[in-house]
Homo-oligomer: A and B are copies of this chain.
Amino acid sequence: MRPSGRTFNELRPIEIETGVSRYAEGSCLIKAGNTHVLCTASWEENVPPWMRGQGSGWVTAEYSMLPRATHTRGRRERGKGASGRTQEIQRLIGRSLRAVVDFKTLGERQITVDCDVIQADGGTRCASITGGFVALREAIRWAMKDGVITKDPLTDTISAVSCGLYAGGPVLDLDYDEDSNAQADANFVITGSGGLVEVQATAEGEPFSEEQFAAIFALAKQGCAELAAKQNEV
């Protein structure tokens, strides 16, 4: 039995509301159960200096958590720069989003996707990727509607889900209670057409077996397919 009462292969309820920011070119608030992430996509009509003149664009991401997104208040990441964990997550989000963008079609523009966690109940990096994609797509729609670009640079959709071994068996979409007690913790980033972009699985205590890994993998494919359907509904 899972603490939330969900079945082993059941996602948390997902809600995605777009257009939540007055100023950002694309935005959404994604809620995966009690995990809430505000995603904005900011369009910039140029690229970093070292990329200029190559006719190619860029997508980058930043991730942060509000201090009281969690059970106990966390410190802001000032003074010492982003922590290793934050940087690891930012790089994963950026890499994942770039996997479905054709940069030649985008042209010399940069889109920055900011993922700010308002409330955290596990799975914030996956919600950031799934929501970040929606914000990115909104920004591209804005640019196409305004005639800034004429061809869609997106080649697919992308979403992410966590899975793990909890209480001896594989479960889909871990919340905080499960995550703190999992024997293994995995994140999968998968495109709408089923291509793999990132596979990360980590033993928290005991190593896990190939069979266990296969079971987790199967859940992730199912979960990402459901998330892709949700993204397309919006």
Binding site for B on A (CB under 8 A): 21-24, 27, 34, 38, 40, 42, 44, 62, 64, 66-73, 76-84, 87-88, 90-91, 95, 99, 112, 114, 116, 118-119, 121, 156, 186, 190-191, 194-203, 206-210, 213
Contacts and interface: CB of A to CB of B under 8 A. Distances in A.
A198 B202 contact: yes
A11 to B, nearest CB: 19
A219 to B, nearest CB: 14
Counting every copy of the chain, the complex holds: 6
Contact of A195 (B71, B77, B207): B207
B84 A78 contact: no
Nearest to A190: B207
Contacts of A78: 77-78, 81-82
A68 B21 contact: yes
A217 B207 CA distance: 16
B195 A203 contact: yes
A114 B88 CA distance: 21
A27 to B, nearest CB: 8
Contact of A82 (B84, B95, B116, B198): B84
A119 B21 contact: yes
Closest 9 CB pairs between A and B?
A195-B207, A84-B87, A40-B68, A42-B73, A199-B201, A79-B81, A24-B68, A197-B203, A88-B88
Which of A62, A91, A195, A202 has the most chain B CB atoms closer than 10 A to its own CB? A202
A68 B199 contact: no
Contacts of A121: 22
21 contacts: A23-B71, A23-B119, A38-B66, A38-B118, A40-B66, A42-B72, A44-B73, A76-B77, A84-B84, A84-B87, A84-B88, A84-B90, A87-B88, A99-B203, A186-B199, A196-B203, A196-B207, A196-B210, A197-B207, A198-B201, A199-B213
